[in-house]
Structure 1
Amino acid sequence: MSSRLALVALLAALAPVPLAFRAAGGSPVARVVPLDARDPARRDVGRLHYLGGWRLTGRDRRFGGISSMTIEDGAFTLLSDTGVVTRLRLARDGTVTDYAIHALPNGPGAAWRKINRDSESSTYDPASGHVWAGFETRNEIWRYTKGFAAADGHVAPAAMAGWPDNEGAEAMVRLRDGRFLVFAETKQRPDHGGHLVLMFPGDPVAGAVPFEFGFHGPYGYAPTDAAELPDGRVIVLMRRFSPGRGLLAGALGFSGALIVIDPREARPDGTVAVDQVAEFAPPLTVDNMEALAVERRDGRTILWIASDDNFFVLQRTLLLAFALDGDVRRRVPDRTASRAAP
């Protein structure tokens, strides 16, 4: 494949479509998508069972760019990487209801500059209703009242000060015991390699000071979101972008993976083990997978995964649901000794 084609794939995946190409107003429309378009009857991938999926399209120019999400009582709160909050419910027949969309009420810098409001991660406390958002480039964490109604504190943690632009707090999760995990997108641990994670003993905005630990995920993947499972472990959504492979497969080059780590194993400067759950690559339905939420329903653990369409016409906003069934104890090979491509 020529370097020109690789560049075209890169631009297609990353360049935003002009906002003028989208009309304002109107709830999104959900259209059913299969797990595998070549085999519509397929329902399983790795240790997941496919419950259903939808492609969401909307005329509102603000809708899209989904980078994180939470779900509570069946209602989704989606945060985009342009500082826009979307709320909606999705009925079993795919009907979108209770749709609302608005910009974050406050945040770092001027709201009209994406470099200031590149909100890539979010997490919330169901008891207080507080929501936290992580901003790349500015390397800040902001806390908001319930529903992102108003900002009530923020911090620029010293441990995140040197994180590269556009590679900052890509994933964040508040654990039920009050600790926080913040995942760097691509920054590696300088001494031990692997993905860098900060463990805050409490609310970062309240001044909690973190320690670093890490993990070694599947080759070529970077973390994009995370959520706590009912048993206290954390499931991490990861993404890989390979334009060459994508063009050969008739896709844009995205694939996704889900792994599980146990924060109870985290120690300063240590490395935790990884259990791989599933990998998503063409011909499976996949895009720029960036958002993850966990829901407990009818005795089952349901994973919701959403994609960031980068406001680009060739990409999609997907919302996929899976049941996590059975044991996920399959270790990812340790690649600390060699990082050669498989």
Structure 2
Amino acid sequence: MRLSRRGLLAGLGSLALPPAAQAIEQNRFSVEIGARRIAAFEPRSPEKRRFGALQFRGGLVLSCSHPRFGGFSGLWRSVDGRELVSVSDRGYWLTAKVASDAGRLVGLGSAEMAPILGASGRPLARTRSFDTESLAIAGGVAYVGVERTHEVLRFDWAGEGVEARARSLPVPPEVKRLPSNRSLEAVGVVPAGPLAGTVVAIAERSGRENEPTLGVILSPGRPGLFKVVRHDGYDITDLAFLPSGDMLVLERWYRPWRGVGMRIRRIAGRDLKPGALLDGPYLIEADLGFEIDNMEGLSVHLDQGRTILTLISDDNFSILQRTLLLEFELVA
């Protein structure tokens, strides 16, 4: 959930940019990212490493002086974990190399940012589709979920990278009727099973406070709808698939001046089908007693057979919040 004024500011800012800033928007640019190590996920118990079904591997507080840095809401890491891609909710790509030491995060190098381009080549930051909230990359294709305009965009990532232009995937009419600022926050590609290769997206919150939220299976020619149970006021902010086909759902509640909470739920892949009402056990739950912020991006990769979860936070471009990159191993 973002501060309500952010969409207005982003839209107005994109229309009033001076020529120099517009030139920046049309090209990729390098950024220097500082990284401060997070040694303990629960500062009051620094020796503790196990949290629910996850083991904390390490984390970073990321910082950068460039005004476009921040607001990261979608995350992807390569199969070997060495490449990182994120999208900001102001319509920008972030690409970087992940530096590690003895299996622990130490920083991001060779970092670049670039505007996400629409079908015409115009930056999404200067259109109604600026609010890019989720990311998945599979088979050389990047998929980006967009709030407010309720879209899933497709990019030729393998062929063109950040210079690729968007192509919109058809979505059912129910998706177009989602709440403006509560729509497609999570997107993923099913890796295994009957739906292998299919794009799946879930809305942040499609109904009232604790009503199930809408999800969509974007099978070519035969899309299907499902719902995900919501509990305790948590909203859906991302999803990622395990190699087995089980789906992990990242959730959080966030209220300015009140705090934030985060948890991850595991949903059996066999249950994902049109008409389903999905639920599953929680792997981890954390509040402000832990090193979290407004956690909005989730990715999964393997490290020597170990299943690694990486999370990134959306700092809302606020000096009161942080951009965190957290790494966990799934151990149960």
Instruction: Give the alignment's TM-score, normalised by structure 2.
Output: 0.82
**How many pairs are equivalent?**
297
Partner of 1:220: 233
- Report if the CA contact (8 A) 1:256-1:280 is conserved: yes
Measure how far apart 1:271 and its partner are: 1.3
Kindly report which structure 2 residues correspond to 1:147-226, keeping only aligned pairs within 5 A, or say none: 147-151=161-165, 153-155=167-169, 157=171, 158-176=173-191, 177-188=196-207, 193-202=211-220, 208-226=221-239
- Report if the CA contact (8 A) 1:227-1:293 is conserved: yes
Q: In 2, distance between residues paired with 1:234 and 1:133?
A: 18
Measure how far apart 1:61 and its partner are: 1.1
Q: Secondary structure at the match of 1:159?
A: helix
Measure how far apart 1:270 and its partner are: 2.5
Kindly report which structure 2 residues correspond to 1:297-316, keeping only aligned pairs within 5 A, or say none: 297-316=303-322
Partner of 2:279: 273
Q: 1:213 to 1:59 in 2, by over 3 A?
A: same
Measure how far apart 1:48 and its partner are: 0.8
Q: In 2, distance between residues paired with 1:292 and 1:261?
A: 15
Q: Secondary structure at the match of 2:204?
A: strand
Kindly report which structure 2 residues correspond to 1:221-240, keeping only aligned pairs within 5 A, or say none: 221-240=234-253
Kindly report which structure 2 residues correspond to 1:100-179, keeping only aligned pairs within 5 A, or say none: 100-106=112-118, 111-113=124-126, 115-125=128-138, 127=139, 129-146=140-157, 147-151=161-165, 153-155=167-169, 157=171, 158-176=173-191, 177-179=196-198
Measure how far apart 1:112 and its partner are: 4.0
Q: Secondary structure at the match of 1:231?
A: coil
Unaligned runs of 5+ in 2: 18-28
Measure how far apart 1:111 and its partner are: 3.5
Measure how far apart 1:172 and its partner are: 0.6
Q: What is the identity, as a one-letter code, of the residue corresponding to 1:116?
A: S
- Report if the CA contact (8 A) 1:15-1:312 is conserved: no
- RMSD of equivalent CA atoms: 2.6
User: Which is further off, 253-262 or 95-104?
Assistant: 95-104
Q: In 2, distance between residues paired with 1:132 and 1:220?
A: 27
Q: 1:152 to 1:15 in 2, by over 3 A?
A: closer
Q: Secondary structure at the match of 2:205?
A: strand
Q: In 2, distance between residues paired with 1:216 and 1:26?
A: 40
Q: Secondary structure at the match of 2:276?
A: coil
Unaligned runs of 5+ in 1: 1-9, 203-207, 247-252, 327-342
Partner of 1:95: 107
Q: In 2, distance between residues paired with 1:268 and 1:49?
A: 33
Partner of 1:5: none
Partner of 1:317: 323
- Report if the CA contact (8 A) 1:25-1:60 is conserved: no
Q: In 2, distance between residues paired with 1:299 and 1:263?
A: 20
Q: In 2, distance between residues paired with 1:119 and 1:138?
A: 10
- Report if the CA contact (8 A) 2:30-2:112 is conserved: no
Q: In 1, distance between residues paired with 2:133 and 2:147?
A: 7
Query: Per-residue displacement from partner, 1:74-127 (whole Å, max 9, x unpaired)?
Result: 1100111011001112312523212111111226986444743100111121x3
Q: In 1, distance between residues paired with 2:176 and 2:31?
A: 40
Partner of 1:83: 91
Q: In 1, distance between residues paired with 2:41 and 2:124?
A: 37
- Report if the CA contact (8 A) 1:139-1:156 is conserved: no
Q: In 2, distance between residues paired with 1:102 and 1:265?
A: 38
Query: Per-residue displacement from partner, 1:239-291 (whole Å, max 9, x unpaired)?
Result: 112457x3xxxxxx111010011232134333133121110112101110000
Q: Secondary structure at the match of 1:61?
A: coil
Q: What is the identity, as a one-letter code, of the residue corresponding to 1:199?
A: I
Kindly report which structure 2 residues correspond to 1:45-84, keeping only aligned pairs within 5 A, or say none: 45-72=51-78, 73=80, 74-84=82-92
Measure how far apart 1:161 and its partner are: 1.2
Measure how far apart 1:295 and its partner are: 0.9
Measure how far apart 1:168 and its partner are: 1.1
Q: In 2, distance between residues paired with 1:97 and 1:307?
A: 19
